[in-house]
Amino acid sequence: MKNPDQLSVPPDGRPYHDQPQWRNDFPIDWPQDEFVARRDFTKFLVLTSFAFVAGQLWIVVENFARKRRGKPPVRRIARADAIPVGGSLVFNYPEPHDSCIVVRTGPQQYFAYNQKCTHLSCAVVPDLARGRLHCPCHNGSFELATGVPLAGPPRRPLERITLEIRNGDLYATGREVRA
Amino acid sequence: MNMEFFIDPNRCIGCQSCVAACSECDTHRGTSMIHLQYVDRPISVQTVPVVCMHCDSPTCAEVCPADAIKRTDDGVVQTARKPRCIACNNCVLACPFGVPKMQVEYSLMMKCDMCYDRTSVGSKPMCASVCPSGALYFGTREEIEQLRPRSEPINTFQFGRQTITTKVHMMVPRDRGVQHVDVLSAMDEQPVDDVFEDIE
């Protein structure tokens, strides 16, 4: 049986099935040489494994970098007495466009939350009479002391900003994202 | 249309047009693959263009230890594959026609591939398109028979005990048959002392 891809004639002129095995293993004709050679396959395996290793290393490095990057900044909000008991103050934390609100409910009691309602991102306003933060868009309510949703469409608690008082100054030190 | 390559060495005038045209070919731009050689420089100015004969059983590919030289299904033996060629020079030494060229700067054997980008789509090779005397001709067999009525194309050569059949044809005077090239006779050749002895 003649292989149509075997065009070259071996030097001794005998048909291919009489030829030594190496002649079939290392064909001269291009169409027969199109299969993936062992060394190409090995090269592919080595390079692919190397790519996987490099990817894993990159993930490790990225994780490490993210951990270091992720430390929230400490930012001064105002003097602690500048907010009267029952009063509130809007500030930006951690980025200039992240609007937050701090509410003073007692002489030493401050609560701060991101103003973004977890329903559709309207800004919540304090409703101290009921101990709530109220979202006027769809009548959503959050508990002032914890930030958990009490009424209306929101299902997730507000993002809480941790606070600290140092030498009479009120500082935002971090945020607590809760599911 | 079945186009074939015919070499007619006795029409060669040594103008180097083919050499210049060859280096314009896009498969190996800048490097000429043609050897334009003097037959016997001390006694004659006759030149002969050497292009690849594209053997049916390519000796260069037979001796390649790296499996780098391949022949396409239309019978054109290609330059060594770059990822495989190890620049060992085996093909350069083995080719009976002396065609392969070792390009040391690329560590790659490069040879005439009959301008594969052109001939595979039906164009003439660069050298045949410029040859002013028709020493390199690319066309059908009918055309060449009409052009060279006293010559006959042969494509079988005998080098020692090796019979070689080629894709490229050599034009020889009619009724000469297989040319036997005694490769060992070159070893007994004596240097010519004074070729101008008779002229005085």
Domains of chain A, residue spans: 16-69, 75-176
- State the Cα–Cα distance between residues B33 and B28, nearest whole angstrom: 8
- Lowest-confidence pick of A1-10, A167-176, B67-76, B150-159: A1-10
Q: What pLDDT is stored for residue B42 in this prediction? A: 84
- Which residues, 6+ apart, have CB-to-CB distance to B28 below 8 Å? B22, B79, B110, B113
pLDDT grade for A35, boundaries at 50, 70 and 90: low
Pick from A10, A26, A28: CB nearest B71 = A28
Across the range B121-143, mean pLDDT stands at 93
- CB-based burial of residue B81 (10 Å sphere; 0-12 exposed, 13-18 middle, 19+ buried)? middle
- State the Cα–Cα distance between residues B9 and B171, nearest whole angstrom: 8
Higher pLDDT, B197 or B130: B130
pLDDT grade for A1, boundaries at 50, 70 and 90: very low
- Which residues, 6+ apart, have CB-to-CB distance to A71 below 8 Å? none
Q: Which CATH number describes the domain made up of A75-176?
A: 2.102.10.10
Tell me the pLDDT tens digit for each residue of B25-74.
Answer: 888 888 899 999 998 888 889 999 999 999 999 999 999 999 899 998 88
- State the Cα–Cα distance between residues B16 and B49, nearest whole angstrom: 9
- State the Cα–Cα distance between residues A33 and A28, nearest whole angstrom: 7
Q: How much is the CA Rg of chain B, to the nearest whole Å?
A: 17
Domains, chain B: 4-181 (3.30.70.20)
What H or E segment, with its residue span, contains residue B35? Answer: strand B35-38
How many other CB atoms are found less than 10 A from the CB of residue B30? 7
- State the Cα–Cα distance between residues A97 and A174, nearest whole angstrom: 16
- State the Cα–Cα distance between residues B31 and B57, nearest whole angstrom: 26
Q: How far is A52 from chain B (nearest CA, A)?
A: 24
Residue A37 has pLDDT above 80, yes or no: no
CB contact under 8 A, B57 and A10: yes
CB contact under 8 A, A31 and B73: yes
Higher pLDDT, B190 or B114: B114
Pick from A7, A10, A33: CB nearest B75 = A7
Question: B151-159 and B136-139: which strand pairing?
Answer: unpaired
Test the B interface: residue of A8, A12, A36 with most B CBs within 10 Å? A8
CB A102 within 8 A of CB A85: no
Q: How far is A23 from chain B (nearest CA, A)?
A: 9
* pLDDT, averaged across chain A: 86
The neighbouring-strand residues paired with B177 are none
Pick from A7, A9, A26: CB nearest B73 = A7
* Model pTM score: 0.59
User: Of the candidates B29, B25, B22, B57, which has an alpha carbon nearest to the alpha carbon of residue B165?
Assistant: B57
Question: B4-7 and B162-173: which strand pairing?
Answer: parallel
Q: Which two tokens stand for residue A112?
A: 């701060």
CB contact under 8 A, A29 and B70: yes
User: Which ipTM was obtained for this model?
Assistant: 0.71
Q: Which two tokens stand for residue A47?
A: 């390079």
Site of tokens 């609560």: A111
CB contact under 8 A, A30 and B71: yes
Q: What pLDDT is stored for residue B125 in this prediction? A: 93
Residues of B in contact with A34 (CB under 8 A): none
